[in-house]
Amino acid sequence: MGLVAARESGRMRFNLGENLPIGSVGLLRAAGHNASSVFEQSLAGGSDERLINVCRQEARALPPLDLDFTDIGRNRPLSMQAWLC
């Protein structure tokens, strides 16, 4: 399910980064969303680029607390394809 279809169904696909509490995955799942974490996917400590590619491939939204992701000089908004929320 892509992001547009997920929005229409009221369910989203998330991948939670290292800076969010691991319990957040369970909360999102309990609310009916498809959620995973970088820890579950063995992506913790990896490169931002790898995480971005996985999120794109899996059509997952990535709610970032990491300031690297919100640096528009480094990550151009149009190249992000609306996966950041």
Q: What is the distance of C-alpha 50 from the center of its chain?
A: 12
Secondary structure letter of residue 68 according to DSSP: T
Domain membership of residue 45 (yes or no) is: yes
Q: What is the pLDDT of residues 7-18, one digit of tens each?
A: 556 788 999 988
For residue 84, being part of any structural domain is answered with no
Q: Where are the alpha helices (DSSP H) in 1-85?
A: 3-9, 23-30, 48-57, 77-80
Amino acid at 2: G
Identify which of 6-10, 39-43, 59-63 has the greatest average pLDDT. Answer: 39-43
In a domain, 18, yes or no: yes
Range of the domain at 34: 3-79
pLDDT confidence tier of residue 20, bands split at 50, 70 and 90: confident
The total number of residues shown for the chain amounts to: 85
Instruction: Give strand pairing partners of 15.
Output: 36
What's residue 17's pLDDT? 87
What is the structure's pLDDT at 82?
A: 43
Is residue 85 situated within a structural domain?
no
- Give the count of domains, the chain: 1
pLDDT in tens, 65-85: 766 666 666 655 545 554 554
Is position 25 within any domain?
yes
